[in-house]
Structure 1
């Protein structure tokens, strides 16, 4: 369960920005004490104008996840750190990038973070808070300077010697079977799933749905959710497919290069099998590639959503509204907010332009004020992240209308008079574009 994420010097996030997943106390509720485990929200959404940095917040969390997963095993020795600093001034490339996440697992709160430059890990730390009291598990100052807490145990010194200057200690510890750090690695890496709206990521998500469709009990649930989406589909099934050997060999080469570069890439199962969809009320079956983008997105998201909800994991989705009807997008969010469905504390973190989620047109208050965050860029191109809760809107305030009217910022400003002026002065005999 995520509680807080802090980041600095990652793409447009130049200055340190903090995203909180902790619920804001309602009126009349006591504020939690420092020793208390805070109550987190099940859903967090980010809104903002195009190019304001919404996706960069999600990308920063994804990059941190990838660094923990891959720095020890896949980053080249002596190859430095493939980070993504702020590039719109001279300071960004020369300043370390910073990432820190607070999370809850097995009833204990932890804080893990690190700083990196282009060459090495400048700092790394992990603290636990049993009974609310801070305890140092390890601290790292520079590539080789370590301090380990007495409670950590394990072969800490040996693992430190095996950790390169450009690799994270947590990544190395997991690869070398450290018992307690390996479990925390699983929480940060394996239990957080990412979804982006591109063809490769869609194929990766569909592979998860495909595995569920091959399990009779899970297939029944997936198909029921498919029918309820009112897409004109009766069911989906997995059938064998064929692919020429030379095409599969080319795919393997491309996949190897992509994975070494940190790019998420689907597995070979997409070529060995395919999903066929049965149209309701007919004997017609179609390959999923022949269906609409909205159908493919819904089916691909079902697998990730079911796995996340049942396991109590975290799902991070960029452009959750992409190709989905607002009712389907809001349904995904309501699934995470419904305590009967989300029984294991799963969380959904998404970016969106769908303002209907801010209002009550689709349902009574889909998103609460502490579940909504905004991004806005300043004149230098740097992103600022802030919460709707900072504005303290009234309980009866129309959030959707207020956002679109610019009451909270984070909306684009277009001077329509200037647009009209451009067309007024446009040459009337411009050549027609060629076909």
Structure 2
């Protein structure tokens, strides 16, 4: 369960910026979840709206950077490798200032706060607190140049792990890599419960859809495919086999590179995957390869697996550009799956960004509440992120209309004088 995320000096976020999905209202008709040891509730959905280049995707990139640092900094980053952060570059002073990331979440029923500061060479600080009784309890606090301050509840080989931590790696990453079981719930939340979907991991998402389609959850996958009204009645995956001698050579090479891959069989080696979708037209079944399907169909096929997995296990699914290839009504139905307690009984959450103002309209299938709507705009080149709750919005107010009218900001500005330059150039070319 995600509660809040804060970032400063990363990409277009110059100043400290926070998004929270904690609500003081229960919203009886939404799939909210109680925040442990509090009178607050975690919302199932939050959407970030705003114009192009306002920083909507950068917020997700910041979240992905933090996740990547936890999962990879100790084992995959080279000892002298620079930390791949992206400081705010439009202010010369910020380029050398540290970037900071803080996240609050619930893992295995316990609320945690984890965060770190880093520059391009080292992690300057790192901290982890839990809230088992509603008050913060220190697990550890790390400051560059000083011994790590361990809380009384952290046991295991913490001092031994401290000696292994490099300046460019996180203690959390090093501890779990060295089998520190007490910190596994925190690491596993980043690894398994925080899931990010964007264009670059299309193939991985498609594999997950295939996995669920070929297991006992196939009915759910097919139901969502048909529910989207894409004309798809079935889908099949098949591996493209290599000639036996080529597969044997590749299996041998894998075993030489990875000593643990001793059980790799040539039968497991494939040259790719063929995907076919069935369409029933006037009683006849027609099969089309995935590459001939529309971009919307391909996008939906790749996301139904993660949707089912997220809803089943109560994870957090983060979507970059929800409306990029999905029709407005299908995107709204996507949100509805997470909003509705019947389809989301385990407290799964959806965080997305979009340009689709119709999702704010009175006729939207899944109405977003005020505390679920966040807006972005650029101020002096830096992204400002703020909630709709900063404005007084009446329950009968048409939020979509007011938003498109500029009532809440977060809209692009079109300079008509610049358009006149285009008009004059076009006219001159025709004369």
TM-score normalised by length of structure 1? 0.88
Aligned counterparts, 1:13-412, within 5 A: 13-25=13-25, 36=38, 38-142=40-144, 145-196=147-198, 198=199, 200-215=200-215, 217-242=216-241, 271-281=271-281, 282-363=284-365, 366-379=367-380, 381-412=381-412
Deviation sequence 1:18-50 (CA, Å, 0-9, x none):
1111114379xxxx9995152110000001111
Are 2:12 and 2:55, in contact at CA under 8 Å, matched by a contact in 1? yes
Cα distance between partner residues in 2 of 1:34 and 1:298: 34
Cα 1:316/1:300, change in 2 over 3 Å: same
Secondary structure of the residue that 1:99 maps to in structure 2?
A: strand
Secondary structure of the residue that 1:126 maps to in structure 2?
A: strand
The aligned counterpart of 1:263 is none
Are 2:25 and 2:41, in contact at CA under 8 Å, matched by a contact in 1? no
Cα distance between partner residues in 1 of 2:240 and 2:416: 52
Cα distance between partner residues in 2 of 1:348 and 1:370: 14
Are 1:10 and 1:86, in contact at CA under 8 Å, matched by a contact in 2? yes
The aligned counterpart of 1:261 is none
Please state how far the C-alpha of 1:417 moved relative to its aligned partner. Answer: 5.5
Deviation sequence 1:152-197 (CA, Å, 0-9, x none):
111110111111111000111111111121121001222111111x
- For structure 1, the residue ranges without an aligned partner over 5 or more in a row are 257-267
Are 1:235 and 1:277, in contact at CA under 8 Å, matched by a contact in 2? yes
Are 1:121 and 1:143, in contact at CA under 8 Å, matched by a contact in 2? no
Are 1:207 and 1:269, in contact at CA under 8 Å, matched by a contact in 2? no
Secondary structure of the residue that 1:15 maps to in structure 2?
A: coil
The aligned counterpart of 1:260 is none
Please state how far the C-alpha of 1:131 moved relative to its aligned partner. Answer: 1.5
Please report the RMSD computed on the Cα atoms of aligned residues, expressed in angstroms. 2.5
Secondary structure of the residue that 2:57 maps to in structure 1?
A: helix
Are 1:143 and 1:166, in contact at CA under 8 Å, matched by a contact in 2? no
Secondary structure of the residue that 1:205 maps to in structure 2?
A: helix
Are 1:7 and 1:16, in contact at CA under 8 Å, matched by a contact in 2? yes
Are 2:24 and 2:39, in contact at CA under 8 Å, matched by a contact in 1? no
Deviation sequence 1:278-323 (CA, Å, 0-9, x none):
1123232122121110000111110111001100000000000111
Cα distance between partner residues in 2 of 1:316 and 1:96: 25
Give the number of aligned pairs. Answer: 406
Cα 1:338/1:80, change in 2 over 3 Å: same
Cα distance between partner residues in 1 of 2:342 and 2:271: 37
Return 277-286 or 96-105, whichever deviates more. Answer: 277-286
Cα distance between partner residues in 2 of 1:345 and 1:320: 20
Are 1:55 and 1:318, in contact at CA under 8 Å, matched by a contact in 2? yes
TM-score normalised by length of structure 2? 0.89
Are 2:275 and 2:290, in contact at CA under 8 Å, matched by a contact in 1? yes
Please state how far the C-alpha of 1:274 moved relative to its aligned partner. Answer: 2.5
Deviation sequence 1:347-390 (CA, Å, 0-9, x none):
00000011111112233x621110000111112x1111100011
Cα 1:226/1:144, change in 2 over 3 Å: same
Cα distance between partner residues in 1 of 2:276 and 2:142: 52
Are 1:231 and 1:295, in contact at CA under 8 Å, matched by a contact in 2? yes
Secondary structure of the residue that 1:173 maps to in structure 2?
A: helix
Cα 1:331/1:33, change in 2 over 3 Å: closer
Cα distance between partner residues in 2 of 1:66 and 1:181: 17
Cα distance between partner residues in 2 of 1:135 and 1:162: 25
Cα distance between partner residues in 2 of 1:238 and 1:226: 15
Cα 1:271/1:41, change in 2 over 3 Å: farther
Deviation sequence 1:230-277 (CA, Å, 0-9, x none):
11111112223246869x98xx99xx9xxxxxxxxxxx9884433211
Are 1:47 and 1:353, in contact at CA under 8 Å, matched by a contact in 2? yes
Cα distance between partner residues in 2 of 1:83 and 1:129: 29
Cα 1:116/1:299, change in 2 over 3 Å: same
